[in-house]
Amino acid sequence: MPRPRLALISRMSTTLIEVRPARAADASAVAGTHDEAWRSAYQGIIPGAELEKLINRRGPNWWDSAIRKGSRVSVLCFGDKVAGYANYGRNRARSLHFDGEIYELYLRPEFQGLGFGRRLFAAARRDLAQSGLKSMVIWALSDNEAATEFYRALGGRMVARSSERFGPKSLDKVAFAWSN
């Protein structure tokens, strides 16, 4: 008598990755993402006390207020976890003739290098363009090599340099731009 065949059923788990507008309920997760991402990106670049001040200023209440007031904040969710966020709107630098600006784009360290930053960037850029803000700029500290390489790889061209003070230290920053 032949042996019965055993069917092996493997269950594949599918994790949803989505970029969506932030909701007030996301404020704590965005604050946690901000904290982790900034510590990872700026430790050793921005002086310690200044970095702590910048991180502590952006707690859950700050993000809750920004989201409720209508600031454009999008989150990239991996399953039910906020893995990154982007904050963007009109260009703030009058001397640069670009319509929109991504003010911040950060991922938790464990989600970097997986293509999620590109996805978040594309969503923010698309949202700006749909609002009529066709060209855009983003600033990065020159010493943050991961960020400057990321924006170059996305086709950003360097259009300006400036500096910003962090306590006693002045740091160089560069603006990358994209036009449609």
Average pLDDT over residues 20-44: 97
User: In this structure, what token pair is assigned to residue 46?
Assistant: 């921005």
Angle of helix 27-42 relative to helix 48-57, nearest 10 degrees, comes to: 170
CA distance 163 to 118: 26
- Range scoring the smallest mean pLDDT among 10-24, 43-57, 126-140: 10-24
The three-state secondary structure class of 77 is strand
Tell me whether residue 7 is in a domain.
no
Query: Percent of the chain beyond pLDDT 90?
Result: 90
Tell me whether residue 125 is in a domain.
yes
Tell me whether residue 123 is in a domain.
yes
Structural domain that includes position 34: 17-178
The number of domains in the chain is: 1
At residue 15, the pLDDT reads 79
Query: Percent of the chain beyond pLDDT 70?
Result: 93
For residue 95, the domain's CATH number is 3.40.630.30
pLDDT in tens, 127-169: 999 999 999 999 999 999 999 999 999 999 999 999 999 999 9
Tell me whether residue 9 is in a domain.
no
CA distance 144 to 58: 20
Tell me whether residue 4 is in a domain.
no
The pTM is what?
Answer: 0.90
Compute CA distances 133 → 18, 24, 90, 97, 173, whole Å.
23, 25, 7, 11, 23
For residue 76, what are the β-bridge partners? 19, 84
